[in-house]
């Protein structure tokens, strides 16, 4: 397979027949979820689909069969499936950086045929060679063969990275924590706030700490600053506790620092032995990289077997997305449904609500995936987007969210589509007397989507004995759209499936809107200005005065109030 060029102008979705039909349909669509469920006892089945181990119930969305048919027509008209195939085959869909988009290649099983060759690179061979190096390294740390410079076994792996080099690894680690090897744990250092470096290292023993510096570009200010801080902490600790000499410092860094990057020359320049570096490639976007060598921390602490299972889960969803017919294709349908919610029902945000404490970082992970990908006003040919684009993704695990922000989802004035995610089997089955606590937990999961869909009428409120102005306050309109995603259990494979599901949903939305979901120019200006402001922040009066009045006043406030 070789890459094909797909840099042609995107089709304006609003110019399609399907868009016009969807607009008309939106005005005509009548009824409510109560009525639709009453009229069609098969509604749940009609709008439920299976993708690998995930059962996805779309029936509590504000859709009819016609809505879904028109959305699929839209997909055909803008060519979602063609663009999907182009992505899988290595086309340079990332036009602003002239790169292929091949995160799906990271999880192709060894020996998959036909072998993938893109831009002269044997992709499968390179992916599996790197994976093997990561696994060998992970095994040597896990077995105790790899030790710190004083010969002690590694107990803590600190991953230093930010954005895609942090959020994916920390989210997966938190989700699969019970699978960590006894006596081995991970920590994650990302923020340039020095508090983060302090808190991450303050109770660690340098002799038993291994650091992974993870950065696709190896130029990121936060990561390189933190790596230098931790190197200093580590060497100082080893000097103090273990009598490390200056001559032994290079060896200490070699035994305690490894790196993951696409820029191996920069890794070496930083002082990390290239032998201890794991590479990946420019066709993997940072927010799509948890399944590359960026997952070295995961393979090390959770184990190569767990990482393999995670990759297999990703691949299962890739295969579903690549091959399932449109009407059964879950990422396609969910992506189109998001377009319906954003562009026709005018949703501005989208909640993701995992009923699993282990998934507590999943919404944060999804924020980068979705919002760095589709938070754009320009299309892949440089012209302006013709519709609203990326919605704000947010969320918290249930049931905590129920006691915080669900009020607004239930009774606020805005439409907030929400994905509810739950698992049949608990990771820890605990009982409160006779009460299975997981059942209590799931009862909440089921109750919320039911309440959001069907609400409570004024008559029902009155029938409970409420009167007067309180009736309106206690009424629930219903018709608040939700999608329920269930799986048998939160395993590594299921987690991989979930991540890939949202990657592909994001892709479908981007494609409909004509967006290159794989660049992130919007983060550059802030980075550049932070560099430019360094002199003013350090107290150069001339530079402070050259700033706008607000920025100058804020910097002066800082200069006047900083202690020490
Ligand atoms: O600033 C945004 C960003 O470029 C993300 O896209 C990326 O995941 C993150 O920074 C970290 O970049 P790197 O892995 O190159 O350090």
Nearest atom in ligand 1 to 287's CA: 8
Count of the separate structural domains present in the chain = 3
Full DSSP string of 339-389: HIIIIIS---EEEEEES-GGGTTHHHHHHIIIIIHH--SB-TTSSBPSS--
Whether 112 is in a domain gets the answer no
When pLDDT is averaged across residues 221-247 and rounded to a whole number, the result is: 97
Judge if 181 and 271 occupy the same domain: yes
Whether 311 is in a domain gets the answer no
**Residues 6+ positions from 382 with CB-CB distance below 8 Å:** none
Question: Ligand 1 pocket check: which of 213, 286, 531 to mutate, most ligand atoms within 8 Å of Cβ?
Answer: 286
Reported as a pLDDT band with limits 50, 70 and 90, residue 300 is: very high
Give the 3-state secondary structure of residue 106.
Answer: helix
Quick: pLDDT tens for 337-393.
999 999 999 999 999 999 999 999 999 999 999 999 999 999 999 999 999 999 999
Judge if 403 and 284 occupy the same domain: no
Nearest atom in ligand 1 to 161's CA: 16
Nearest atom in ligand 1 to 286's CA: 8
Whether 103 is in a domain gets the answer no
When pLDDT is averaged across residues 96-121 and rounded to a whole number, the result is: 97
Residue 559 Cα to ligand 1 midpoint, Å, equals 30
Judge if 244 and 138 occupy the same domain: yes
Judge if 347 and 221 occupy the same domain: no
Q: Mean pLDDT for the chain? A: 97
Kindly report the CA angle at 524 between 522 and 528, in degrees rounded to 5?
145
Judge if 496 and 548 occupy the same domain: no
User: Which of 305, 336, 351 represents a domain boundary (last residue)?
Assistant: 305
Residue 283 Cα to ligand 1 midpoint, Å, equals 14
Question: Residue 4 pLDDT > 80, yes or no?
Answer: no
User: Which of 305, 337, 355 represents a domain boundary (last residue)?
Assistant: 305
Whether 474 is in a domain gets the answer yes
Closest CA to 61 of 352, 543, 484, 380: 484
Q: Whose CA is nearest to atom 16 of ligand 1?
A: 215
pLDDT of residue 564: 85
Q: Whose CA is nearest to atom 6 of ligand 1?
A: 286
ipTM of the complex in this document: 0.98
Residue 339 Cα to ligand 1 midpoint, Å, equals 27
Question: Ligand 1 pocket check: which of 169, 520, 527 to mutate, most ligand atoms within 8 Å of Cβ?
Answer: 520
User: Which of 305, 336, 368 represents a domain boundary (last residue)?
Assistant: 305
pLDDT of residue 462: 98
Whether 111 is in a domain gets the answer no
Range of the domain at 223: 117-305
Nearest atom in ligand 1 to 524's CA: 1
Q: Whose CA is nearest to atom 2 of ligand 1?
A: 523
Judge if 403 and 534 occupy the same domain: no
CATH number at residue 203: 3.40.50.10490
Judge if 391 and 503 occupy the same domain: yes
pTM for the complete prediction?
A: 0.97
d(CA 100, CA 217): 17
The share of the chain scoring above pLDDT 70, in percent, equals 99
Nearest atom in ligand 1 to 222's CA: 16
Nearest atom in ligand 1 to 220's CA: 16
Closest CA to 72 of 297, 324, 415, 252: 324
Judge if 396 and 482 occupy the same domain: yes
pLDDT of residue 6: 52
Judge if 453 and 490 occupy the same domain: yes
Please list every protein residue whose CB sits less than 6 Å from any atom of ligand 1.
162-165, 215-217, 220, 223, 286-287, 372, 520, 523
Residue 45 Cα to ligand 1 midpoint, Å, equals 41
Residue 433 Cα to ligand 1 midpoint, Å, equals 48
d(CA 223, CA 213): 7
Judge if 224 and 342 occupy the same domain: no
Quick: pLDDT tens for 156-194.
999 999 999 999 999 999 999 999 999 999 999 999 999
Judge if 352 and 499 occupy the same domain: yes
Whether 6 is in a domain gets the answer no
Q: Whose CA is nearest to atom 1 of ligand 1?
A: 523
Question: Ligand 1 pocket check: which of 167, 218, 220, 527 to mutate, most ligand atoms within 8 Å of Cβ?
Answer: 220
Question: Residue 211 pLDDT > 90, yes or no?
Answer: yes
pLDDT of residue 8: 79
d(CA 89, CA 297): 29
Residue 131 Cα to ligand 1 midpoint, Å, equals 22
Whether 187 is in a domain gets the answer yes
Q: Whose CA is nearest to atom 3 of ligand 1?
A: 163
Residue 222 Cα to ligand 1 midpoint, Å, equals 10
Question: Ligand 1 pocket check: which of 163, 260, 521 to mutate, most ligand atoms within 8 Å of Cβ?
Answer: 163
| Residues with active-site annotation | 372, 403, 527
Whether 310 is in a domain gets the answer no
Q: Which long-range contacts (CB under 8 A, 24 or more apart) does 439-444 make?
A: 441/355, 441/398, 441/399, 442/355, 444/355, 444/398, 444/399, 444/402
Quick: pLDDT tens for 484-523.
999 999 999 999 999 999 999 999 999 999 999 999 999 9
d(CA 228, CA 256): 13
Residue 164 Cα to ligand 1 midpoint, Å, equals 6
Q: Whose CA is nearest to atom 9 of ligand 1?
A: 163
Question: Residue 414 pLDDT > 90, yes or no?
Answer: yes
pLDDT of residue 504: 99
Q: Whose CA is nearest to atom 10 of ligand 1?
A: 163
Phi, psi (rounded to 5 degrees) for 258: -125, 170
Nearest atom in ligand 1 to 164's CA: 8
Residue 425 Cα to ligand 1 midpoint, Å, equals 36
Judge if 534 and 453 occupy the same domain: no
pLDDT of residue 227: 98
């Amino acid at each position: 397979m070789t890459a094909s060029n797909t840099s042609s102008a995107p089709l304006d979705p609003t110019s399609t027949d399907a868009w016009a039909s969807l607009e008309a349909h939106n005005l005509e669509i009548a009824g409510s979820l109560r009525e639709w469920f009453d009229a069609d006892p098969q509604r749940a089945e009609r709008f439920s689909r299976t993708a690998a181990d995930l059962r996805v119930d779309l029936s509590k969305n504000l859709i009819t069969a016609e809505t879904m048919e028109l959305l699929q027509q839209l997909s055909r008209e803008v060519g979602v499936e063609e663009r999907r195939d182009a992505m899988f085959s290595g086309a340079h869909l990332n036009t602003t950086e002239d790169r292929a988009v091949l995160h799906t290649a990271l999880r192709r099983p060894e020996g998959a045929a036909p072998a993938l060759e893109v831009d002269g690179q044997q992709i499968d061979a390179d992916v599996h060679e790197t994976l093997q190096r990561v696994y060998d390294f992970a095994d040597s740390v896990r077995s105790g063969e790899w030790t710190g410079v004083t010969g002690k076994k590694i107990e803590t792996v600190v991953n230093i990275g930010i954005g895609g080099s942090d959020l994916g690894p920390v989210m997966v680690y938190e989700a699969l924590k019970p699978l960590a090897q006894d006596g081995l744990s991970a920590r994650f250092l990302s923020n340039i706030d020095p508090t983060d470096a302090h808190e991450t290292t303050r109770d660690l023993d340098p002799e038993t700490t291994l650091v992974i510096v993870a950065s696709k570009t190896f130029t990121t200010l936060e990561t390189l600053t933190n790596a230098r801080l931790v190197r200093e902490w580590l060497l100082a600790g080893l000097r103090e506790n273990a009598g490390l000499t200056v001559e032994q410092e290079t060896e200490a860094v070699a035994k305690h620092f490894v790196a993951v990057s696409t820029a191996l020359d920069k890794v070496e320049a930083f002082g990390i032995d290239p032998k201890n570096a794991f590479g990946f490639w420019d066709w993997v976007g940072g927010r799509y990289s948890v399944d590359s060598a960026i997952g070295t921390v995961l393979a090390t602490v959770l184990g190569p077997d767990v990482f393999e299972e995670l990759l297999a889960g990703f691949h299962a969803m890739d295969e579903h997305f690549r091959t399932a017919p449109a009407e059964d294709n879950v990422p396609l349908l969910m992506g189109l449904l998001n377009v319906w919610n954003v562009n026709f029902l005018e949703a501005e945000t989208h909640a993701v609500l995992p009923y699993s404490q282990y998934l507590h970082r999943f919404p944060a992970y999804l924020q980068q995936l979705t919002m760095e990908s589709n938070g754009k006003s320009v299309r892949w040919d440089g012209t302006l987007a013709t519709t609203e684009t990326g919605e704000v993704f947010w969320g918290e695990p249930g049931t905590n969210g129920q006691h915080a922000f669900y009020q607004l989802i239930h009774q606020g004035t805005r439409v907030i589509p929400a994905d509810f995610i739950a698992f049949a089997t608990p990771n820890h089955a605990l009982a409160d007397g006779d009460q299975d606590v997981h059942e209590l937990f799931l009862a909440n999961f089921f109750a919320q989507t039911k309440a959001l869909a069907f609400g409570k009428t004024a008559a029902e409120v009155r029938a409970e004995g409420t009167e007067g102005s309180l009736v309106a306050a206690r009424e629930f309109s219903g018709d608040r759209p939700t999608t329920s995603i269930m799986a048998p259990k939160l395993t590594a494979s299921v987690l991989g499936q979930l991540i890939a599901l949202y990657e592909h949903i994001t892709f479908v939305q981007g494609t409909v809107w004509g967006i290159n979901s794989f660049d992130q120019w919007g983060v550059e200006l802030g980075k550049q200005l932070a560099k430019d402001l360094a002199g003013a922040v350090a107290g150069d009066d001339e530079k402070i005065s050259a700033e706008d009045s607000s920025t100058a006043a804020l910097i002066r406030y800082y200069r006047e109030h900083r202690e020490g």
